[in-house]
Structure 1
Amino acid sequence: MFPPPPPAARDCLTRIFGFADFRPSQGAIVGALCAGQDVAAIMPTGAGKSLCYQIPALVRPGTALVISPLIALMQDQVRALTGFGVRAASLTSADPADAQARTRAALERGALDLLYVSPERLATPAFQSLLATTRIALVAVDEAHCVSEWGHDFRPEYRLIRGVLDSLPNVPRIALTATADANTRADICANLGIDPANMLVAGFDRPNITYRVEPRRNPRAQITALLQKHPQASAIIYCRSRAQVDQIADALAAAGFPALPYHAGLDAPTRSANQARWAAEPGQIMVATVAFGMGVDKPDVRLVIHLGLPKSIEGYYQETGRAGRDGDPATAVTLHGSSDISRNRQWLDEIEDPARRAIEAERLAALLRFVEATGCRRVPLLAHFGDSPAPSCRACDNCLSPPRLSDLTEPARKLLSAVYRTGQRFGIAHLTDVLRGQATPRVNDLGHDRLPLFGIGADLPKTAWAALARTLEAEEALLRDADHHGLRLGPAARAILKGERSVRVADSALAPRAKRERRRDRGTPADSSDPRFERLRALRRELAVAAGVPPYVIFHDSVLHAIVAANPRNLADLATIPGVGEAKRERYGAAFLAALGR
């Protein structure tokens, strides 16, 4: 369907960006855009989405227009591109008036390869007048899930983009995102005018990320232990509230960790300063609400911790995807408690549109299936996005160290019977009272103390019944009413009630206070402690400070690892290392060779 990339695109890939060949899916997208075709690209973080439009921007005549939601993201992209010798600029409210004037002048005389703007600026009459006199090579819509009302981060201003796209005839358009389920993908195509036949879904798996889920017991102690297992690692800790962000950040800072807070309650200069410091300095820890993250381009985040469940599996995937963007091993840990589900159910109650509420309820159910999984966690995670992963990934806690399981088939049948006998409209708290024989006023008033099953589950504690209910929800034997959250029988209930299907629950969920086995997870690359690697990092830091850019703009950690492994003797050897393009080799090559003792 898509033509191969032309020779000029391959030349740009090697000469400017320093890569020998395209990654899977990149070549098809680059070929399509170079040929003038529209594309919707759904690619996992770290798969090289940006190159898919940056290279066609260098091949096609004119200036590529890139629409992006965040100023920080645009600035990161522009810094990275200018580091490769590409003529790139942005027009944002953060740019001084004289810089904006220079950018407009460069655009008018055709001296820009790429221009980054926000959807709000795109919609202004002044900018559209500027576009009318400019030759546009292509239009790229980054973070395209923002255009969809079904997306987890819908932004109404993204709906303004379509009119501008349609005013540019014969200009190819590309929509890019890492996070989009079937509903969101269809909405992206419809709202940006892209034929669904031109959609390329490259998969959602991030094989370098190890996923772990743990009951939340002592959050500060658990976070401290995780940070100690990943010393000097850049990290993000997501919290559910501003107050929690401040508490955790203060506690970590008092314990000697380089922790910074980020949430909407902080003034803009403080947020900007904290983000800049986190991006520029290695080993920094950002403690944040979900206000932090979209467009984060820091490649060497080794650890992402969720102190509670996000609202949906899309949000979880997007936030954990900020780990390991450079392809090196990273870890995503979720610390969850029973209150998380109640909080998310309350959030569902606040959604007035029934169709939207039903979709969000399914997304929350998908997240629950991930959290309660007793097998490979990638299976429910990737299945939600339409992928069909192998039954074992060898990169999640359950695969690395399978949990001990208890057979709770008979209690499951009792719980399902209780759901049915009480009218399929009560939550687990009331059902537990009935099963454990607790004659509460509500149980007595409803006459549930006279049911034959009253008291037949007194041998199990409340925590076990709650864990069993979560497992049955995850297996779709129980469904939760989107309006009142009462439990009802699901499609898998019949097989359990008839004895055709067993139910097993992890012992750690049944006894949340028990000490869980230590999990093995992937560490940092073996050469991180190599003295040559440390010398290269120190040099990179000096160059970054002198240039006023984050260190990864000079070279990613993955490039430094490759340099250490290759041990180049001269500039010609350095040219063979992925990520060392022509401009960077000329600018930094001699200094890095000297740091190696060459």
Structure 2
Amino acid sequence: MSTTPQQTLQRIFGFRDFRPHQREIVETLIRGEDAFVLMPTGGGKSLCYQVPALHRAGVGIVVSPLISLMKDQVDALCANGVRAAYYNSSLGAAESRRVLAQLHQSRLDLLYVAPERLLSDSFLARLAEIPLALFAIDEAHCVSQWGHDFRPEYVQLGVLRRHFPGVPLIALTATADPQTRDDIRVRLGLQQARCFIAGFDRPNIRYTLEEKSKPFAQLLRFLRTRPQEPGIVYALSRKRVEEVAARLRAEGIAADPYHAGLADGERARVQEAFQRDDLQVVVATVAFGMGIDKPNVRFVVHYDLPKNIESYYQETGRAGRDGLPAEALLLFGYGDIALARGLIEKSANVEQKRIELHKLNAMVGFAEAQTCRRRVLLGYFGESLEQDCGNCDICLVPPERYDATVDAQKALSCVFRVGQRFGMGHVIEVLRGAATERVRRLGHDRLSTYGIGAELSQDVWSSLMRQLIHLGYLQQDLGNYSVLKLTEKARPLLRGEETLVLARPRVKVVAAKKPPRKKPGELAYDSRLFEDLRLLRKRLADAAGVPPFVVFSDATLVEMAAYRPHDRAALLAINGVGEAKLQRYGEAFLAVIAEAQGQGQG
């Protein structure tokens, strides 16, 4: 056993240094104290309980919500030489007995368990008979009814405090607003626990938003600039997931659908193919993601608007968990808002409805913002950024501003002329002089505003109207077919008593391929060597029957391609190379690096 947590971090996991807060959290648990941890996805939450479990007597019990996530984490631990197993409904009778025997014989350092299995009377009785190092509750926001992914089976986990008062308990989540945090701590009996808030910023993710125009064409254009990069596309309905995946396959992109309506075997096949880099794109509902431990997801696209910032943050957070550059693209359409609001309004729970509408409005505010997106996102979670991030669409391609006074007056006049009784689509048809049967039947082709905006496209008028709504000149009555009405604020603008500067629409903007602002000390590496190392990793992973990231992460391969270690000692100094992996894979990776060196010199 290593004498210090630092030595364990290096020898077992291959990391030179702890990340912010990790050392304090590890030491808190080793002392036998409780902890509540809020840390972004990819911030290193797992090490916060894995290292202490190796330093305390007994087995660490980890509560995890998804079977697939348990398997990935156990595979990764075993690859590092840690004695780990999982106990859930995916195991057959013989395998279950084998795991329980290991547990009773003190042959496990960590055991991953589903909440419903952990809380069975028989399993709690077993745990009472053996030494326990700690309890770790992962994805702890599932405990709270105010969290965005409430799971009833998580609620009962508060009994652990009563059954095992002397065993330290750590609750971890990447996504929780202040109300959810308080609820988690009360439900788990962690009011006295030390709280560690590691911040929400993921500087390696570039946030980009496009107004939804022709969404499939926009998605295809985005993917064409990222061949071979693995990513996730989220859509709201199963039908749309199936449709988008089929159209992508027809365009030659390796894509498959994933949603709760598919057979278990098909979902498992898709997830495994994605984990093993055999599938480039998964098109999914929100059913896909919490179980994804894949660190090299390079992009996440939201085909539809998420219903709250927590979901958006967590889903985009599945990109770039290895710390390398990643993209988050959101296609934003106002029809999505009406749809989401309609679903929320159906709820019979008045308080829940109020909270969900508030969260939806905050999401719309993020999408409509014309200021640094990261500032808006972090501000929602109560965190401030001192300066613009330099790595979002607003920072990289600032919107062009123009004097929109005359166009705005035309739009407001037209809303007034049609009697403030029609939605945006009809108002734009009148402005552009559309010769439709409906316009003629209503007599709107005889209005003074008919055709006065013919020179502007529908996209330009849509963008202008949205900004007028966002700025409070128009209100959209979503409960009444989204009709547009003037507000008091519109009067001085219509009378010519004030001018209005707006942003030009960004319909055609694609995530800029300009590289993100370099951080100090960011590595320059040999991209050809990196690809050779990836091919080797894939072969080794396939032979071992594990996902490639279980062998080494992309971040570890980047360091190898930058520093070109020439012997075992130098390879061991690379982040992510521990002693077990050095023994298993070291010679193969050193051979590829040496071959590249020879070619470079030749």
3-state DSSP class of the match of 2:594?
coil
1:242 to 231, 235, 238: 238
Cα-Cα RMSD: 3.8
Cα 1:415–1:557 change in 2 (3 A) is same
Question: Is 1:123 matched up with 2:119?
Answer: yes
Unaligned runs of 5+ in 1: 1-5, 439-453
Tell me the equivalent position of 1:519. Answer: 512
Cα 1:98–1:411 change in 2 (3 A) is same
Tell me the equivalent position of 2:541. Answer: 544
Aligned AA (1:100): S
Question: Is 1:223 matched up with 2:219?
Answer: yes
Tell me the equivalent position of 1:178. Answer: 174
State the shift of 1:592 in Å: 1.0
Tell me the equivalent position of 1:451. Answer: none
- The residue correspondences of 1:480-495 to structure 2 (distance < 5 A) are none
Tell me the equivalent position of 1:51. Answer: 47
Q: In the alignment, is the contact (CA less than 8 A) between 1:233 and 1:282 conserved in 2?
A: no
Question: Is 1:573 matched up with 2:550?
Answer: no
Q: In the alignment, is the contact (CA less than 8 A) between 2:61 and 2:111 conserved in 1?
A: yes
TM-score by length of 2: 0.86
**Distance in 2 separating the partners of 1:175 and 1:481:** 42
Tell me the equivalent position of 1:553. Answer: 550
Cα 1:392–1:553 change in 2 (3 A) is same
Q: C-alpha offsets along residues 131-179 of structure 1, whole Å, 9 cap, x if unaligned?
A: 1112111111101111111111111111011112321011111111111
State the shift of 1:457 in Å: 13
1:359 to 331, 355, 361: 355
Question: Is 1:400 matched up with 2:393?
Answer: no
Aligned AA (1:105): A
State the shift of 1:392 in Å: 1.2
3-state DSSP class of the match of 1:596?
helix
3-state DSSP class of the match of 1:296?
coil
**Distance in 1 separating the partners of 2:114 and 2:354:** 31
Tell me the equivalent position of 2:600. Answer: none
**Distance in 1 separating the partners of 2:309 and 2:469:** 15
Q: C-alpha offsets along residues 276-317 of structure 1, whole Å, 9 cap, x if unaligned?
A: 011002562111111111121111111111111111111111
3-state DSSP class of the match of 1:563?
helix
3-state DSSP class of the match of 1:597?
helix
Unaligned runs of 5+ in 2: 434-447, 596-602
- The residue correspondences of 1:111-510 to structure 2 (distance < 5 A) are 111-195=107-191, 198-281=194-277, 284-408=280-404, 429=424, 467=463, 470-471=466-467, 504-508=501-505
Q: In the alignment, is the contact (CA less than 8 A) between 2:432 and 2:451 conserved in 1?
A: yes
Cα 1:573–1:528 change in 2 (3 A) is closer
Q: C-alpha offsets along residues 508-532 of structure 1, whole Å, 9 cap, x if unaligned?
A: 16xx5xx447733448999787332
TM-score by length of 1: 0.86
Identity percentage of aligned residues:
46
Cα 1:490–1:559 change in 2 (3 A) is farther
After superposing the two structures, state which structure 1 stretch, 515-524 or 58-67, moved more.
515-524
State the shift of 1:414 in Å: 11
After superposing the two structures, state which structure 1 stretch, 398-407 or 517-526, moved more.
517-526
State the shift of 1:195 in Å: 2.0
3-state DSSP class of the match of 2:241?
helix
2:591 to 583, 589, 594: 594
After superposing the two structures, state which structure 1 stretch, 465-474 or 318-327, moved more.
465-474
- Between Structure 1 and Structure 2, how many residues are aligned? 577
State the shift of 1:235 in Å: 1.0
**Distance in 2 separating the partners of 1:186 and 1:575:** 42
Q: In the alignment, is the contact (CA less than 8 A) between 2:232 and 2:284 conserved in 1?
A: yes
Tell me the equivalent position of 1:103. Answer: 99
Tell me the equivalent position of 2:599. Answer: none
Aligned AA (1:546): A
State the shift of 1:194 in Å: 1.0
**Distance in 1 separating the partners of 2:487 and 2:159:** 44
Q: In the alignment, is the contact (CA less than 8 A) between 2:523 and 2:562 conserved in 1?
A: no
State the shift of 1:101 in Å: 0.8
Question: Is 1:88 matched up with 2:81?
Answer: no
Cα 1:305–1:437 change in 2 (3 A) is closer
Tell me the equivalent position of 1:69. Answer: 65
Cα 1:490–1:320 change in 2 (3 A) is farther
Q: In the alignment, is the contact (CA less than 8 A) between 2:373 and 2:394 conserved in 1?
A: yes
Aligned AA (1:362): H
State the shift of 1:504 in Å: 4.4
